[in-house]
Amino acid sequence: MTLKVIGAGFGRTGTLSLKEALEKLGFGPCHHMKEVMVNSEQAEYFYLASTGKSMDWDEVYKDYSSAVDWPTAAYYRELSDKYPDAKVILGMRDAGSWYDSASTTIYQMSQKFPKWIRFILPRTDKIFKMIDKTVFGEPFSYRFGDREYAMQVFNDHVEEVKKSIPKEKLLMHSAKDGWGPLCAFLDVPVPKEPYPWVNDSKEFARRLLFIKFLNWLPLIVLLSGLGFLL
């Protein structure tokens, strides 16, 4: 399978909605960070890529016809060169809105995930090392907590994509744009159903609560053990 669509947009620019939209339009399966989280093979591929290893992208994306979100977005230029017939979609969002969303969801997950779990689960540790190298660490010069700086990196990325991808191959798309521009760009009919709108903020809030509990779990177990001994 060859990639037909490459997503160049950062996470939290409507990438999960775009994933569902592309799959409904016949460009699935669509790769997303979720694939890395649940698929050990994908986790290993992108960990190796983050260390600078030269990748066989045909092997990495052998089961996918489209790819959006991080970590794909980190390699959009290399992938566009590899697949010259693929079209590139740049997820668009106001930089301030994007930062507020990313900083309270996926960034918090990456920063607060329990170190003890990373220690006992090597694959999980590799995923978060990859995220550090590919997503929030090096790309933002380890300054993601600086709102203005992170917004500038976001805006610079948008300009970089616009300069590096030919206009005829690039669509700048926001979820609020809906089906019209996307279907015209991909030359497919517009579905009768509404454009998918995936808002997973509440799910992230639940995950962060669970992560907070996991961080306290070793202490809870220790105190429980001491109580039993007493």
What pLDDT score was predicted for residue 206?
A: 77
Statement: residue 108 has pLDDT above 90: no
What pLDDT score was predicted for residue 224?
A: 55
Span 212-218, average pLDDT: 64
Confidence band (pLDDT; 50, 70, 90) for 197?
confident
Name which CATH class applies to 5-94+122-198. Answer: alpha beta
- Of how many residues is the chain composed? 230
Statement: residue 225 has pLDDT above 70: no
Statement: residue 26 has pLDDT above 50: yes
Give tens-digit pLDDT for 130-187.
999 999 999 999 999 999 999 999 999 999 999 999 999 999 999 999 999 999 999 9
In this predicted model, which residue has the larger pLDDT, 117 or 52? 52
In this predicted model, which residue has the larger pLDDT, 197 or 3? 3
Statement: residue 228 has pLDDT above 50: no
Nearest to 87 by CA among 175, 215, 188: 188
What pLDDT score was predicted for residue 21?
A: 98
What pLDDT score was predicted for residue 226?
A: 44
Rounded to two decimals, what is the model's pTM?
0.88
Span 67-94, average pLDDT: 97
Start-to-end CA distance of the chain, whole Å, equals 62
What pLDDT score was predicted for residue 229?
A: 43
Name beta bridge partners: 67. Answer: 6, 31
Domain ranges of the chain: 5-94+122-198
Cα 66 off chain centre by: 13
What pLDDT score was predicted for residue 204?
A: 62
For the chain, percent of residues with pLDDT exceeding 90: 76
Three-state SS annotation for the chain: CCCCEEECCCCCCCHHHHHHHHHHCCCCCEECHHHHHHCHHHHHHHHHHHCCCCCCHHHHCCCCCEECCCCHHHHHHHHHHHCCCCEEEEECCCHHHHHHHHHHCHHHHHHHCCHHHHHHCHHHHHHHHHHHHHHHCHHHCCCCCCHHHHHHHHHHHHHHHHHHCCHHHEEEECHHHCHHHHHHHHCCCCCCCCCCCCCCHHHHHHHHHHHHHHHHHHHHHHHHHHHHHC
CB 7 within 8 A of CB 18: yes
Span 47-62, average pLDDT: 97
Give tens-digit pLDDT for 8-23.
999 999 999 999 999 9
Report CA-CA distances (Å) from 81 to 97, 112, 187, 203. 31, 36, 22, 36
Mean pLDDT for the chain overall: 90
